[in-house]
Amino acid sequence: MASKDQESVYPLEGGCACGLIRYRLEIRPLIVHCCHCTACQRESGSAFAINLQTESKMVTGLPSTAVKIPASINSPAKPAGPILVPATGHIVEPELVTVPSESGEGQDLARCPTCRVAVWSHYGGTESLVKFVKGGTLDEAWKVQPDVQIYTRSKRSFFKLDGSVPEFEEFYRRNEVWRAESLERWEQMIRDNGRQ
């Protein structure tokens, strides 16, 4: 699993490509999935998706802004340009679009209304309590490592797994993979929202 030093990288900011949707992930996610399912492949246009599952209340909306990574950050990746929209100075909510998911329960993708980049999703059964933040939308995405590889049954053959994190052909049981602190946060969220 990802090391304890992963906690020190939070909070992290991110947003869509054009800067209209901005957010801050306040604390370490409950879990970070590297998902190889065919739905994630299709949605991301890539071989897998990195999803940072966290309580929705721990994702703070920020005013829209031009995306610029400060020169002081030693960045292995630079954001795409040019900036497509001027900064509004307001918090803009993404549009929700329902799409299929590997589980069959569907998910609501939160997309920027301008550049259409998906910034997070709500999977079936979690409604709006949990956001699955799209790892590639973080300003410093390279700081986040997956805790688990899921749906490896449909992983692309060129992607080699090294066994450094748990791997599952499909999904897993929460208590087998999650940190104790994440399980406690999950239970608290369920209690706070009157669920069982």
**Where would I find the H helices in the chain?**
38-44, 174-177, 180-192
166 assigned to some structural domain: yes
44 assigned to some structural domain: yes
What are the structure tokens assigned to 125, written together? 């059964």
161 assigned to some structural domain: yes
Question: How much is the mean pLDDT over the chain?
Answer: 84
Domain count, the chain: 1
Q: How far apart are CA 160 and CA 21, in angstroms?
A: 33
58 assigned to some structural domain: yes
Question: HEC states along the chain?
Answer: CCCHHHHHHCCEEEECCCCCCEEEECCCCCEEEEECCHHHHHHHCCCCEEEEEEEHHHEEEEECCCCCCCCCCCCCCCCCCCCCCCCCCCECCCEEEEECCCCCCCEEEEECCCCCCEEEEEECCCCCCEEEEEHHHECCHHHCCCCEEECHHHCCCCCCCCCCCCECCCCCCHHHHCCHHHHHHHHHHHHHCCCC
**Cβ contact 23:14 at 8 Å:** yes
129 assigned to some structural domain: no
101 assigned to some structural domain: no
What are the structure tokens assigned to 135, written together? 């790892």
The predicted pLDDT at position 54 comes to 95
Instruction: Report residue 151 CA to chain centroid gap.
Output: 16
**Cβ contact 120:59 at 8 Å:** yes
The tens digit of pLDDT for each residue in 47-95 reads 899 999 999 999 999 988 765 555 555 555 555 444 555 566 788 889 9
Mean pLDDT of 170-178: 93
Domain of residue 40, residue span: 4-92+134-192
Supply the pTM of this predicted model.
0.84
Q: Is the pLDDT of residue 2 over 50?
A: no
The tens digit of pLDDT for each residue in 95-116 reads 998 887 777 777 889 999 988 9
113 assigned to some structural domain: no
pLDDT band at 6 (very low <50, low <70, confident <90, very high): low
112 assigned to some structural domain: no
